[in-house]
């Protein structure tokens, strides 16, 4: 369960750093570029020190294409945090939990037991309650993340390096094409962001290598929603209404059942 906990902590840190960058009126594209710069350096170290790293042309091409989705998804998430608040942005990005869960059930025959079925139902209730909790505070634009890590577990170090390296190149090209001014505070925050970013992906892949996807994704998604919302309420005084409190309750119950 340790990789799951570390994934939740790292992913929550990403949302909080993006929120702080918005509070400080930072430039999102500079933040993301510095983030991917640090992320690809860390993943390069993983690649160098991993003695049994596997390579393939498919992983290279797949990672290169996925990097573009990463950039667009991350940029959309940063915009959502800015316009809709941390809670709604985290919720919208986690609604896609149904994709990997359904995928793992249909193609990998990962059938949940009775406890896990209850956990999935409570997870669904958590998302519904969070939606009603935050929809009156701001109007956010929902996005869907691509959960395609399942096929990349065996080539994890190389896969991460390709993704973050090309994400860095894509964002750098945007900065030069739009002649965006690079401010040191934005770049420094991006460098800090790069650490939890790369490790959140690393720990997620580690969790998928040890546990069924039908367990990993609901636990990670609900955990991120809960921790992000609580942290935002403490740091920026983002308040929870009765629906939000109900969502927290259902979320805790969901995690307990999914872990059985």
Look at the block and give the residue holding tokens 């080539």.
155
184 three-class SS: helix
Would you place residue 155 in the very low, low, confident or very high pLDDT band (cuts 50, 70, 90)? very low
Among 223, 244, 227, 218, residue whose Cα is nearest residue 117: 218
Confidence category of residue 48, pLDDT binned at 50, 70, 90: confident
Q: Confirm if 13 and 196 have CB atoms less than 8 A apart.
A: yes
Task: Output the 3-class SS for 196-242.
Answer: HHHHHHHHHHHHHHHCCHHHHHHHHHHHHHHHHHHHHHHHCCCCCCH
| Paired tokens of 242 | 């009765």
- The backbone torsions φ and ψ at residue 141, rounded to the nearest 5 degrees and listed phi first, read -105, 115
Domain boundaries, the chain: 2-258
Least confident of 71-85, 97-111, 188-202, 229-243: 97-111
* pLDDT score of 30 more than 80: yes
Q: Rounded mean pLDDT of 185-205?
A: 89
pLDDT at 146: 33
Q: In whole angstroms, how large is the CA radius of gyration of the chain?
A: 18
Q: What does the block give as tokens for 82?
A: 């800015």
Residue 22: pLDDT over 80: yes
User: Which tokens sit at 36?
Assistant: 């991917």
> Residue 259: its pLDDT value, please?
58
- Give the pLDDT band of residue 140 (cuts 50, 70, 90): very low
- Burial class from Cβ neighbours inside 10 Å (0-12, 13-18, 19+) for residue 107 reads exposed
Position 82 scores a pLDDT of 64
Higher pLDDT, 151 or 128: 128
pLDDT band of residue 139 (cuts 50, 70, 90) is very low
Q: Report the pLDDT value the prediction gives residue 184, as an integer from 0 to 100.
A: 92
DSSP alpha helix (H) spans, the chain? 2-23, 28-49, 57-84, 86-94, 98-107, 114-134, 156-178, 184-210, 213-235, 242-258
Please state the rounded mean pLDDT for residues 193-202.
Answer: 87
């Amino acid at each position: 369960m340790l990789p799951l906990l570390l994934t939740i902590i790292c992913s929550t840190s990403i949302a909080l750093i993006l929120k702080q960058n918005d509070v400080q009126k930072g430039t999102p594209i500079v933040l993301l570029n510095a983030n991917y710069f640090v992320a690809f350096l860390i993943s390069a170290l993983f690649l160098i020190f991993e003695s049994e790293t596997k390579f393939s042309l498919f992983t290279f091409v797949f990672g290169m294409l996925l990097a573009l989705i990463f950039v667009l998804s991350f940029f959309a998430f940063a915009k959502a945090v800015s316009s809709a608040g941390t809670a709604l942005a985290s919720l919208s990005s986690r609604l896609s939990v149904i994709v990997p869960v359904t995928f793992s059930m249909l193609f990998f025959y990962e059938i949940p037991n009775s406890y896990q079925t209850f956990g999935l139902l409570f997870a669904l209730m958590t998302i519904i309650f969070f939606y009603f909790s935050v929809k009156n505070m701001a109007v956010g634009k929902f996005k869907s993340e691509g959960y395609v890590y399942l096929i990349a577990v065996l080539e994890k170090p190389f896969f991460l390096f390709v993704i973050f390296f090309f994400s860095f190149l894509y964002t750098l090209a945007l900065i030069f094409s739009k002649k965006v001014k690079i401010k040191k505070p934005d770049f420094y925050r991006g460098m800090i962001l790069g650490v939890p970013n790369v490790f959140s992906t690393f720990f997620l892949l580690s969790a998928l290598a040890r546990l069924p996807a039908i367990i990993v994704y609901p636990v990670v998604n609900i955990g991120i929603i809960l921790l992000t919302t609580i942290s935002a309420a403490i740091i920026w005084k983002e308040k929870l209404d009765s629906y939000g409190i109900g969502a927290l309750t259902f979320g805790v119950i969901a995690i307990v059942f999914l872990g059985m």
